[in-house]
Amino acid sequence: MEHETAGDPVSGCKWTRKTTGKIAQQLKRAGIRVSAKTVGRLLKQMNFSLRLNLKCLESGQSKPPDPRQRDLQFRYIRGQIRSYKANAMPVISVDTKSRELIGPFHQAGRKWSQEPIQVLDHDFPSDSKGVAIPYGIYDLTRNEGYVCVGTSRDTSEFAVDSIRTWWQKAGSRHYPDADRLLVLADCGGSNGYRIRLWKQKLQVALCDRFGLQVKVCHYPPGSSKWNPIEHRMFSFISNNWVAQPLLDYETVLKFIRTTKTSMGLKIRASLINKHYPKGEKVSDQQMRQIVLKRYTQRPNWNYSISPSKM
């Protein structure tokens, strides 16, 4: 084992690239007859164990934020949620779920059935009927979700159209007196804090159209798993269609709509067939027309957009 062992010199954790079966075979050739189970037991006595990769290293080209700044942002978001809820103003968490191929494609996981479901042996996009891009809106106060399933691209325009659809069909009915909206979002993706189109579409399609002041708070880079929609809605949707091929768009909508939890989660869903072009640019003049206010606590991560006519 001397040349097959690696480890962490600080924690003392060790690992080997050999399996217990291979080690047992090598010991057999050396005249020591033991089973793979015995090898595993001996390895545990030597402080070895089966381990997965641990995602803990910062990635990305830009310098990661100071941990203290990350903690301050989490505290700031928590305070904003409490403030908006106390004033009966809506608080939503938004994000895009991973895109799915439409057709008889493999879905991870297992389900009880008498016969295995037959799917294609390769996931070639050319064999699909299209793609499903679920953009989710989760209402933290009401424990309700709304998912817009796009068929084109995950762009900022699609993200804002999804929020607008939620407001028209659900938000404005549940919060008829609301003049402010708090949006919790990741730092990247179609609703990233650096994207001009995201802010410009919020101004035109949401703030100006409905007279809403929209405040956006972004979670720090690498913190998307703390976005409430991930563990309060998307995870349950994934569990609902586990091992089930998404044969058509109606199947996708059905599994989203039938997702429920013991805590009373309810989800509505609709299809958006609009084509969204990529590479749409926002000029400096258009940016100057945005009624944008940045806050002292990480101004890039926290800002509000107000209606043009107030």
Digit-by-digit pLDDT tens for the chain (310 residues) are 555 555 555 556 655 567 888 888 888 888 999 898 998 898 888 887 777 777 766 665 556 667 888 899 999 999 999 999 999 999 999 999 999 999 999 998 888 888 889 999 999 999 999 999 999 999 999 999 999 999 999 999 999 999 999 999 999 999 999 999 999 999 999 999 999 999 999 999 999 999 999 999 999 998 888 999 999 999 999 999 999 999 999 999 999 999 999 999 999 999 999 999 999 999 999 999 999 999 988 999 999 999 997 5
**How many structural domains is the chain composed of?**
2
Say if residue 134 is in the same domain as residue 248.
yes
Say if residue 29 is in the same domain as residue 75.
no
The pLDDT of residue 253? 98
**Domain presence at residue 62:** no
| Residue 30 φ/ψ, nearest 5 degrees | -85, 5
**Domain presence at residue 300:** yes
Say if residue 18 is in the same domain as residue 141.
no
**Domain presence at residue 269:** yes
Token pair belonging to 285:
């003049």
Q: What is the number of alpha carbons within 13 Å of residue 94 lying toward its C-beta?
A: 33
**Burial (Cβ within 10 Å: 0-12, 13-18, ≥19) of residue 92:** buried
Helix ranges, 95-195 (H): 156-166, 172-174
Helix (H, G, I), strand (E, B) or coil at 60: coil
What are the residues facing 302 on neighbouring strands?
A: 217
The pLDDT of residue 7? 56
Say if residue 12 is in the same domain as residue 156.
no
**Domain presence at residue 55:** no
The pLDDT of residue 61? 53
Structural domain span for residue 243: 67-305
Q: Which stretches does DSSP call E strand in the chain?
A: 5-7, 14-16, 91-96, 100-102, 130-139, 144-150, 180-185, 213-218, 266-272, 292-294, 302-305
What are the residues facing 137 on neighbouring strands?
A: 94, 146
| CA separation for the pair 243, 117 (Å, rounded) | 8
| CA separation for the pair 206, 176 (Å, rounded) | 15
Token pair belonging to 147:
């998912």
**Domain presence at residue 60:** no
Say if residue 150 is in the same domain as residue 36.
no
Say if residue 250 is in the same domain as residue 194.
yes
Token pair belonging to 112:
């009880």
Say if residue 133 is in the same domain as residue 255.
yes
Helix (H, G, I), strand (E, B) or coil at 237: helix
Say if residue 111 is in the same domain as residue 200.
yes
Amino acid at 188: G
| CA separation for the pair 165, 110 (Å, rounded) | 34
**Domain presence at residue 50:** no
